[in-house]
Structure 1
Amino acid sequence: MEGTLFSLFPALLMLILVLLTRKVLLSLGAGIVIGVLFIHDFAIINSLKEIWLIFYEIFISDGSLNTGNILLLSFLLLLGIMTAFLQASGGSRAFGEWMIKRVKTRTGAQVMTAVLGLIIFIDDYFNSLAVGQIARPLTDRHKISRAKLAYFIDSTSAPVTVISPISSWGAYIIGILGGLFAANEVTTIQPLEAFIKMIPLNLYAFAALLLVFLVAYLKLDIGAMRKHENRAIETGQLLSPDKDKVPGDLSDAFLAHKSGKIYHLLVPIGVLIAGTVLSMIVTGATAAEGQVSILTTFANTDVNLSLFLGGLIAVLTAFVFHLQQSKPKANAGKIFYEGLKTMLPAIYILLLAWMIGSVIGTLETGEYLAQLVEDASISTAFLPLLFFLIAGIMAVATGTSWGTFGIMLPIAAEVAVVTDISMLLPSLAAVLAGAVFGDHCTPISDTTILSSTGAGANHIDHVITQLPYAVLAAIAASAGYLLVGITNQVVLPLLVTLLLVVIIGLILNYAVAKRNR
């Protein structure tokens, strides 16, 4: 069943169950079970062995530790511990009280969160978790639902990193472009130059970023988001009361220290940022071959190791502050325990997401979708739109932007070079945009999971509430890509895309206001 229509079934089943039951662990588990049954032609024993092997290889691969995965999981645990110390010290409360005197409106708090998402552009993982830690005390004080905070985090993290050449994403993409151009004998443009020229063609990224600010300024709460926001404003409940405990929720674990200071929050977070960035530079420069530059540094950086080191130093800093505080203060052992415990839901989801990603990879779901593209006889004017939509579907099904880049960018390059070389950069940019769009729509994306974690939101609440906004941005981007294919221009399609986002936003805002009268 590998590489056939049946390879789509596990991903579709998982998505349908998520929407119907809103139980992410059940849905992911069902997708994994059905997928391995397909792989082994419904042989029960072999399927059970496959499930164990997939889980085992998350931690040990080819006879050695899978350090990347272990370091990321360890960082999540460290983040939970740090969050616990920030709350126990009273630092989060002090920062919230300080900021609420300066940021006096809900709109201001939302805009600040979005701006933070733009500033921290180095890596999507780092963005998702760091912005959540900084913004959460402020958004909580202004009664902004955690689902909305997660939306702001997720819809700025990947869109800003995918258009930044100085980022882990930019370095990865530029590296792929170099291999593609060599394989297809494209000598008229260099990879970095191509990436920069593709930035204004990444229409979904700009549409998503613009929509975030429209949502903040226009109070554009649509779909399930309206329910979460109304409940937060009216009752002060930032999370669904019927949901299980979510990552980072320590409200009932212990009382915050009454003499907490702002620096108890800001210094550990500053140490986290500085330690992570410095580690990224050191690991990247060490691993780079030949002349070391900013580009080669970020192309070779070890993001997971950098996150772990930054997190470890930040936890030690927060622990030192805890020891310096006068009594009464929470027991340090309890803080460690509660911090670890709050991250377990996120880790369970991430583990199952990795497992179903492996199953989908074995079933060759991405390759099947890619083959459909190659077999389709479509006018070259439709190539950007086609690649945007297919990359989106593939990212939804596989849960990985980078995996979609790896599969679809070579196909887009080959098709464009053979049919119409002028469509090369638009097609490649459309793949990047479609992958980010799909990443925003799937519950098994690493970035989506970590955005929920950073915000302290229920994961499925985040997926459901973000989906309408992702679709709106994708509709505007689709019109733009159709215009790119027809006109072969850059500026006009971008302006039309952004104008459509504004028009759609204003229409929806009018409809929401009319309904509330």
Structure 2
Amino acid sequence: MEELSALSLLPPLLALAMIIVTKKVLPSLGLGILIGALLINDWSVLASISYIWSIFAGFFYTDGAINTWELYIIFFLLILGVMAALISLSGGSRAFGEWALRRVKTRTGAQLVTFLFGILIFIDDYFNSLTVGQVSRPLTDRHGISRAKLAYIVDSVAAPVCVIVPLSSWGAYIITIIAGILESYQVNQYSGLQAFLYMIPMNFYAITALLLVLLMIIWKTDIGPMKKHERLALEDGVLFDSSKLGIPGETGGQLDELTGRVRDLVLPIVILVAATIVFMIITGAQNAETVTVLSVFAETDVSASLVYGGLIGLAAALILTLTKKPKSSMVGKAGAAGIKAMMPAIYILILAWIIVAVIDELQTGAYLAALIDGSIPLFLLPLLLFIVAGFMAFSTGTSWGTFSLLLPIAGEIAATLDITMMLPFLASVLAGSIFGDHCSPISDTTILSSTGAGSHHIDHVVTQLPYALIAAGASSIGYLVLGVSGSMWLGLLTAVVLLVAVVYIMKMILSKSTTASA
């Protein structure tokens, strides 16, 4: 397929439809991959199989060298799985849960702690998704909070925080793209960093998504499938459906726990976080031509830093476990259980990477981007860019890919029609990309959030979707107001007020239904 075509939408839409209907991720992704490969190779089965194999092999070895990105992410997942199993074996998870239970008295408090922790770990979304879920799980489990709820909180904080904080891997990446766009169109009144800071209040989805998590926690607005998961967790103590095989990151009940202390969990996690940040700074400084704070985070090697930091954290967990003098067979069993627990996430992640590569070859994103042109009324463009970016990220499973393709197009449209709308157009793309990424079951951050929280992947996708659509709906109206009025603050106020009003109404409806059933 050399020309852009609507057929490029077939593989992602088919895979997504099958996931929704069958609730089975692996065969659904597999079908999408096969159909995409057949389209690319003119329906030749042998050529398609060879093509798929070449993509898979490329995750491990490409261009005459080891492919450190995907391979290191897989290594980090395995390291984290073993580390979590050792912490569980040492009794650290149980001790931390009991300690936290004495200090965090309510379910609301446990969720707020998770929310705040997610805000603090803003350095990278992968790191955030996995670390916050792992640390918060003992606390939320003790308070009877479903794993689906934990995954939602983790996922809906990670990307929105990273996308509005300049000192993150996301922020630095976006700033470099924005700086190039501004330079191309000779916009000199602000630098890439200044433009990024000005755009923070224009990222309506990131702001409303974070606000929605907070309101959901405080007002207890469990809606749609989430309501069922929370009811089962609260009333029956069922945190996840154990009948569904392949819960990523879950080793509970498989290990004989020793008598542990809080430090058995806290120290390895603190060491992991600290070591990873240090290596992000080191690798960024090594790769940057000129060492500045932004250049370091723009050039950092996230996957390598995760592996290096993970190995140090794993060593700490192993040492603390060995001090309790367990049998060697117990340590071996913990290691095997940790690896086994991460395999479902790795399977999903590999297939998601393959379908993303297929979609990229089909130029699905380029086809969607081509739907936007200068004939559309100016006031509709912030809303339209938000919607197109959302659908693109949803279909392709990558917000970063959407950034790289759609931000330059948004910049060109602004330069052609009205240069003063440059920043609102760019912010609309950023917001839409995060929205689509949140909804997409093939998004790597969605997969890793499920893994960190120990939630079944489809349960996380289905329960998060209604909340993402609510935040997106409020943001859409905000972008329409921004386009009509030209006021960023009026658009933001509209989005926030509308979101609060909708959630409050839902809270009232839920309260009445609870009272009526009592």
Calculate the TM-score normalised by the size of structure 2.
0.98
Alignment map for 1:403-482 (pairs within 5 Å):
403-482=401-480
Q: Please list the CA deviations of residues 167-220 of structure 1 after superposition, one character each: whole Å capped at 9, or x if unmatched.
A: 000000001112112222222321111000000000000000000011101111
Deviates most, 52-61 or 170-179:
52-61
**Corresponding residue number in structure 2 for 1:46:** 47
1:266 corresponds to which residue? 266
Which residue does 1:79 correspond to in 2? 80
Contact kept in structure 2, 1:380 and 1:423, CA below 8 Å = no
Q: Which moved more, 1:46-55 or 1:486-495?
A: 486-495
**Do structure 1's residue 119 and structure 2's residue 120 form an aligned pair?**
yes
Query: Does residue 200 of structure 2 align to residue 199 of structure 1?
Result: yes
Q: 1:337-376 residue pairs with structure 2 within 5 A? A: 337-374=336-373
Counterpart in the other structure of 1:58? 59
Contact 2:185-2:415 at 8 Å conserved across structures: yes
- Report the 3-state secondary structure (helix = DSSP H, G, I; strand = E; otherwise coil) of the residue aligned with 2:43: coil
Matched position secondary structure for 2:223: coil
- Counterpart contact for 1:88–1:330, Cα < 8 Å: no
Percent identity of paired positions between Structure 1 and Structure 2: 53
SS at match of 2:111: helix
The aligned counterpart of 1:134 is: 135
Distance 2:189 2:253 in 1: 61
1:73 is paired with a residue whose SS is helix
Aligned-partner SS, 2:117: helix
Following the alignment from structure 1 to structure 2, what is the Cα–Cα distance between the partners of residues 189 and 492? 23
8 Å contact 1:255–1:330 — kept in the other structure? Answer: no
Q: Among 386, 389, 412, which residue is 1:388 paired with?
A: 386
Q: Which runs of 5+ in 1 are unaligned?
A: none
Aligned partner letter, 1:437: F
SS at match of 1:165: coil
Matched position secondary structure for 1:162: helix
Match of 2:294 in 1: 295
Structure 2: gaps (5+ residues): none
Letter paired with 1:441: C
State how far apart, in whole Å, the 1-side matches of 2:58 and 2:322 are.
39
Aligned twin of 2:305: 306
Q: 2:248 is matched by which residue type in structure 1?
A: P
Q: Tell me, in whole angstroms, the C-alpha distance in 2 between the residues paired with 1:470 and 1:221.
A: 13
Cα distance in 2 between the residues matched to 1:280 and 1:332: 30
Q: CA deviation at 1:252?
A: 2.6
- What is the Cα deviation at residue 241 of structure 1? 3.2
Cα distance between partner residues in 1 of 2:92 and 2:143: 17
State whether structure 2 residue 375 is matched by structure 1 residue 377: yes
Alignment partner, residue 495 of structure 2: 497
CA distance, structure 1, for counterparts of residue 250 and residue 232 of structure 2 = 18
TM-aligned CA deviation for residue 109 of structure 1: 0.5
Which amino acid in 2 is paired with 1:465? Answer: T
CA distance, structure 2, for counterparts of residue 251 and residue 108 of structure 1: 23
CA–CA distance in structure 2, aligned partners of residues 237 and 513 of structure 1: 23
Residues 390-433 of structure 1: per-residue CA shift (max 9 Å, x gap)? 00000000000000000000000000110011111000000000
Equivalence for 1:286 = 286
Residues 87, 321 of structure 2: 8 Å contact kept = no
1:330 Cα deviation from its structure 2 partner? 6.2
CA distance in structure 2 between the aligned counterparts of 1:317 and 1:385, rounded to whole angstroms: 49
Helix, strand or coil: the match of 2:59? helix
Q: Deviations over 1:444-490 (max 9, x none)?
A: 11110000000011001000000000000000000111111111112
Q: Secondary structure at the match of 1:131?
A: helix
Once residues 470 and 25 of structure 1 are traced to their aligned partners in structure 2, the CA distance between those partners, rounded to angstroms, is: 24
Query: What's the TM-score, normalizing by structure 1?
Result: 0.98
Kept in 2: contact 1:479–1:497 (CA 8 A): yes
Give a deviation string over 1:325-357, Cα, whole Å, max 9, x none.
045786211111111111000000000000000
Aligned partners of 2:97, 2:49: CA distance in 1, in Å?
Answer: 49
**Whole-Å separation in 2 of the counterparts to 1:252 and 1:261:** 19
